Amino acid sequence: MKTEIADKWIAALRSGEYKQTTGKLYDGKGYCCLGVLCKVLGKEFVDEGTLSWTIGSERLRSILPRDVVEDAGMYSSYGCYNSRNSSLTKDNDDGKTFEEIAGIIDEFRDEL
């Protein structure tokens, strides 16, 4: 993952600015950790779980759109790490805090 984007993402997760949610990038009130990355990259959400653009006919809910993955220099839409045995999507939905997830991003940024 691109270092400057990882640094901004970690700072955003630790800022306290974003309320955390599960199951969706954005639920109208809060974001999952991947939704925060979308905001860091300047993507706007227009309603629950949908960014202001789509890829084909797919409505994006809990995975990153391809262009976000590419812009961030990531390998997967789920934020896979640890030799692809773990994912930030699962961590977020299993209850890890943004602070814990920021630590994971910092530790595994080269694998993301």
- Is the model's pLDDT at 93 over the cut of 90? yes
The answer to whether the beta carbons of residues 24 and 48 sit under 8 Å apart is yes
More confident residue, 20 or 27: 20
**Neighbouring-strand partners of residue 26:** 31
* pLDDT score, position 84: 82
Residue 20, domain extent: 3-108
Average pLDDT over every residue of 39-49: 78
Reported confidence tier of residue 111, pLDDT bands at 50, 70, 90: very high
More confident residue, 84 or 17: 17
- Is the model's pLDDT at 53 over the cut of 70? no
The answer to whether the beta carbons of residues 20 and 29 sit under 8 Å apart is no
The residues near 77 (Cβ < 8 Å, ≥ 6 apart) are: 63, 64, 65, 66, 69
- Is the model's pLDDT at 60 over the cut of 60? no
Residue 58 DSSP SS3:
strand
pLDDT digits (tens, 9 = 90+) for 63-86: 788 889 999 999 999 999 998 889
Q: Which helix (H) or strand (E) holds 92?
A: helix 88-93
Domain count, the chain: 1
**Whole-prediction pTM value?**
0.88
Q: Which two tokens stand for residue 10?
A: 């970690």
More confident residue, 112 or 53: 112
